[in-house]
Structure formats: C-alpha cells, structure tokens
Chain A
Amino acid sequence: MPIRALIIDDSSVMRKIVERSLRQAGIDLAPVLEAGNGAEALAVLKDNQVDLILCDVNMPVMDGLEFIKQLPGVANAKDVPVVMITTEGSESHVVQALSSGARGYIRKPFTPEQVREHVVPVLAGKS
C-alpha cells in the first residue's frame, strides 16, 4: 500500500528534494501532499488522511514546533508520525521537537540513506 505523505516546508524546492529522497530511499509513495507552513498543513489535514508527515522547523506563519503542538487537535491526524527535517542542529531543538511529539529528526543537508534510516523505523512503528 503506497504511503500517503505530507511534506511541509516553505521552500518548494526543498519539498521536491524531500519527496525525491523518500522515493530514492525506496519508500513507495502515493501522490504527495504539500504545505508551505504549519497553518496550511493543518488545513490540508482536515480534508486528507496521511500516513507520514515530514516537517521543516523554521517557517513563516506557523513554524514546525507549533504545528506538532497543534496536530493532536486534528482528529484524523493526531496519531500520524511526524519527522522533522531542518537546518537547526542544536540539541535543544531536537529535544524540543521530540518532546512535542516528533518521532524523528533529520538535519539538512541529508542523504537519501539518512532519510531511510529515520523514516523506515517510524513507518514500521518502531520509533
């Protein structure tokens, strides 16, 4: 069954790179949903069911950390795993993201192998 993914990043180029990296990592994807910030993503999730969310941290309007805090309020998405993908590499950002509910944290720049390492266990429910 193809994975329904939502990719959230204010850069459309980065959204395409993340999608390509998921495919290069061998993940079978259904057509990917995209959002430019956390608020757009919440709106997308109200009308769509997804299996995986990949989310940037620093974005305008609503950043990634605020998005994962608000995610439990979306009935059909509260249990969807979120993996953060960001240039922010500090330990406090990682701790903050994971304690807010993120299931993984990938630092940019990244390789498809790193995407696979972080995403596959999350999809398998092992993270």
Chain B
Amino acid sequence: MNSHNQVLPANGSHEHWTPLLETAVREVFELMLGCQLTAAIDGEQPAPDFTAMVGLAGQLCGLLSIRCHRKAAALMASKMLGVEVDKVGPEISDALGEVCNMTAGNFKNKISGLAEGCMLSPPTVVTGSDYTLHSMADSPAIEVRLFFEGMLITISLQINS
C-alpha cells in the first residue's frame, strides 16, 4: 500500500488530491474491514440512501462525505462488528460514520501541514435519499467512486478554500 505526503497547494486547485483520497479510503476498508475496494464500473445501482459527513476546519475547510445504499452500509457494519449482516441494526449509522471519520483523518494525515492544522468534526449520518446538500464550498468537489463488494460508494471532498 502506498503512502503519500504532499504539501498544501498555494492556489485553489486540489484535483491532485484525488489519488490521496482514494488511497485513504482504500486503506480504511483494507485495514478495518478486511476487504479491497475495486474500481467502479458503469451500470445501474440503487440510489444511495445513507450519507455520512465529517467537517474539516482550519487550514483546510470543507466537508468529506461518503454516500452509499443501506445494503452497503449494513455490510460495512457487519464486517466491522464481525457479525452476520442480518444481525446489524442501529450500528449501521455508527459504522458508516466511523468509516467517514477514519477516511477524513487518514486523508489529512497524508498531506503535510494538515495533520496539525486541520480539525475534524464528529461524523453526522443522514438517511434517506430525498434531500439536496448545499455546501458553502467554493471549488469543485473531489469525487472518488469505488465498488465495495459490488456496491457503489461515493466519497466526496468539498473544499472551501
């Protein structure tokens, strides 16, 4: 597994952080859930109805979110708890929130200056799909789409520079 360290860019471009975000989320799934994420392929997927969010404040301000379908979130909880997927219940939101929190922490620790200069909010999880997220971000979101056991998860970092 590769580890990266980059410095904060002086300009507003953050596109080159996409591989770091992907590595950060892949590491979380590999180490904490014991599974490899794979490249997303085109095809019909159910609408995501679980969204976990962690705010970033300080040297980097923004919002990191992970969106997926309930089945994917339940499978995450199942793998994290080491129990059958039909045995998980209210822990689903907790599990997805922790995945989001660890991804945000792992991501910021890969960028010089951010580990010290950027704080994370506690995770928030929204359920349901009938909502619109209005971010104050002033630059395009960095987005990574990956498959978790054949189910799409979308990791998005919206940056307010």
Contacts and interface: CB of A to CB of B under 8 A. Distances in A.
A and B pair up = yes
Interface of A: 10-14, 16-17, 20, 58, 60, 86-92, 107-111
Contacts of B80: 13, 16-17
Contacts of A10: 122
A21 B94 CA distance: 18
A87 B116 contact: no
B106 A87 contact: yes
B102 A109 contact: yes
Contacts of B108: 89
B100 to A, nearest CB: 10
Given A14-B98, A58-B122, A60-B122, A89 B115 contact: yes
Given A13-B80, A13-B95, A58-B122, A109 B116 contact: no
Given A107-B109, A108-B102, A12 B115 contact: no
Interface string B51-83: 000000000000000000000000001001110
Interface residues of B, number: 24
Contacts of B81: 13, 16-17
Contacts of B28: 109
Main secondary structure of the interface of B (DSSP, over half): helix
B31 A111 contact: yes
A20 B82 CA distance: 9
B48 interface: no
7 contacts: A13-B77, A58-B122, A88-B105, A89-B108, A108-B32, A109-B28, A109-B31
B144 interface: no
A87 B104 CA distance: 8
B157 to A, nearest CB: 15
Contact of A92 (B102, B104, B116): B116
Contacts of B101: 87, 108
A13 B120 contact: no
Given A10-B122, A17-B80, A87 B94 contact: no
B94 A13 contact: yes
B105 A108 contact: yes
Contacts of B98: 11, 13-14
A32 to B, nearest CB: 14
Nearest to B83: A16
Top 10 closest pairs, chain A to chain B, by CB:
A87-B105, A89-B109, A109-B31, A90-B115, A90-B116, A13-B94, A13-B95, A109-B32, A89-B115, A109-B28
